[in-house]
Amino acid sequence: MTIRRNVMGSLAALASTAVLAAGMLPLRSHLTIATTALVLVVPVVLGVVLGGFLSGVVGVLGGFLIYDLLFIPPYLTLDVGAAENWTALVVYAAVLLPVAKVVSGMNAARAKARQHGTQIRELFELSGLLVEDKPFDDLVSVIVSTLRDVFDARQVALLLPRDGHLEIVASAGAPLTDADRGRLLPMPGALASLDTHLSQRKDPFALALIAAGRPVGLLMVSGKRMAEHDREPLLLFANQVALAIERAQLREDALRLEVTEEVARLARMLVAAVSHDLRAPLASIKASSSVLADPELDIRPTERQELAGLIDVQADRLAALVTNLLDMSRVQAGVLQPRCTVTTLSDFLATVLRDLPPATRARIPEIDVPADLPPIDADLVLIARVLTNLLENAARHGPKDTPITICAQPTEARAAGDTEAGGVKVDADARTITVSVADRGPGVSPDRRNEIFGLFTRRQNDAGTGLGLAIAKAFIEAHGQRIWADDAPGGGARFCFTLPVAAPLPEELQVVPNPYC
């Protein structure tokens, strides 16, 4: 780049000298020797500005020859004639060479200041990015790529300690070869410290990253000889880089700790919930089966039937618990994919009510479903679990002599981008049906209507597992729909959820009635 700049400056100096000489030549008899020398200063300054000091020297030599050959008699010879002409030539060369040096130095200082300002500005912008809460991988990638652009280096690599040794966690520029890695990484068994031998080299230049007196890592810049004016902004910026990396590492450690604690908390809640909910039905089944299996006990047929019914009910309770746990494991594993089927809501409700557990089936809900509702398009197995959980919840909380009501109606139009509990967006033109299950129990207070859909959340003195509503919410949101709780007309709780309406069949696929049937 420097050689090309020198050549371009030299050519510009010689070309401008030739142009000025051609313009002054017709006026040679009217120009003094001093005036000609002043005009020939211009090509020298132009060469210095465009190419540097060497181009200025070329401009001085070219101007010297043109000055001597064309403007000092005798013309077209190197003889200068009178002694005062020698003085003019010597003064021309003696003055313009220092001028070229001064102008070159000013240009270099201005270019250096401009480059330094650009570096400071880009590093300042990077310091703003370091303040943001970026993920660790994004942060180190931004650091190395920005530094590579700022210093125009071949490679920039960031080395951090991992498992007792330094490891390259991010790099920018040319791909790292095995030779590059061997040059950057310490030798096996060698101690990497702040005084490593790499820091004494011009290339690669190693910069230790230190935060609060603790070494965080090493920053390697290769493919560029780091001058003092390059090192200063990098050294000033190193502390910010170290603090940002340490903060990102601490944030990831805190997040891992938080996740670990949350997993441990959920595990404790799961163990407590399962142990509590397993103990009661298992105790009932064990007691009932022990009585039935004892040949010495004289049990009347009605009592035997009651014991068998109790075993059946408690076995259903255990089956429901296991089903809920399996459903929740599917949700948490992220493998929940609805398999939608088109059916009418009336047929679907009839199937769900027929398959209810005996304890819930004892209270037949009242159905209020218009006959003209369009068919739904949903995963019937998942929605059946939703409806079963809501009915079991209503039967558990509503008094025995009060009704449970299932209602359905077309969903009222909502504003675009509106959301419900859980943050699920609902389109303004979405065609859905709202299904509700209402009881006459104590209801749900407004401040707990979002909380009750959480995992293992129970009401006071509730015998449930705390999984039913959480599973219902996950299954409904898997369909892109919403579920919420509000007050039932006449008192109690009402749980509502939406179901998508099946798209109408194309006209060519619709069945045309046969007029002869």
Is 17 among the domain residues?
yes
Mean pLDDT of the 265-274 span? 60
Q: What is the pLDDT of residue 426?
A: 43
- Residues 482, 362: one domain? yes
pLDDT tens for each residue of 338-367: 888 999 999 999 988 887 776 666 678 889
Q: Write out the two tokens for 221.
A: 């810049």
pLDDT tens for each residue of 371-414: 889 999 998 888 988 898 898 888 888 888 888 999 999 987 55
Residue 438 pLDDT exceeds 90 = yes
- Residues 357, 479: one domain? yes
- Residues 158, 246: one domain? yes
Asked which of 254, 279, 308 is the last residue of a domain, the reply is 254
For residues 407 and 436, is the Cβ–Cβ distance under 8 A? yes
pLDDT tens for each residue of 319-339: 767 776 676 666 666 667 788
Q: Write out the two tokens for 51.
A: 């190419």
- Residues 179, 90: one domain? no
Q: Residue 415's domain is classified under what CATH number?
A: 3.30.565.10
Q: What is the pLDDT of residue 271?
A: 61
Q: What is the pLDDT of residue 200?
A: 44
Residue 79 pLDDT exceeds 90 = no
As for how many domains the chain has, the answer is: 3
First to last CA, the chain: 92
pLDDT tens for each residue of 200-253: 445 667 777 877 677 778 777 776 655 555 666 666 677 777 777 777 777 778
- The CA distance from 493 to 478, in Å, is 24
Asked which of 231, 254, 277 is the last residue of a domain, the reply is 254
- Residues 494, 360: one domain? yes
Q: Write out the two tokens for 23.
A: 């313009």
What number of CA atoms fall less than 13 Å from residue 493's CA on the CB side? 21
- Residues 111, 148: one domain? no
Average pLDDT, the chain: 75
Q: Write out the two tokens for 140.
A: 């180190």
Other CB atoms within 10 A of residue 23 CB: 10
Radius of gyration of the chain (CA): 44
Beta bridge partners of 159: 168, 218
For residues 187 and 177, is the Cβ–Cβ distance under 8 A? no
pLDDT tens for each residue of 147-197: 787 777 778 888 887 776 777 888 888 776 666 666 655 555 544 444 333
What range defines the domain where residue 100 resides?
2-115
Q: What is the pLDDT of residue 322?
A: 74
Is 279 among the domain residues?
no
Q: What is the pLDDT of residue 196?
A: 37
| Backbone angle region of 461, left / alpha / beta, with phi > 0 → left and psi within -120 to 50 → alpha | left
% of the chain with per-residue pLDDT over 90:
9
Q: Residue 139's domain is classified under what CATH number?
A: 3.30.450.40
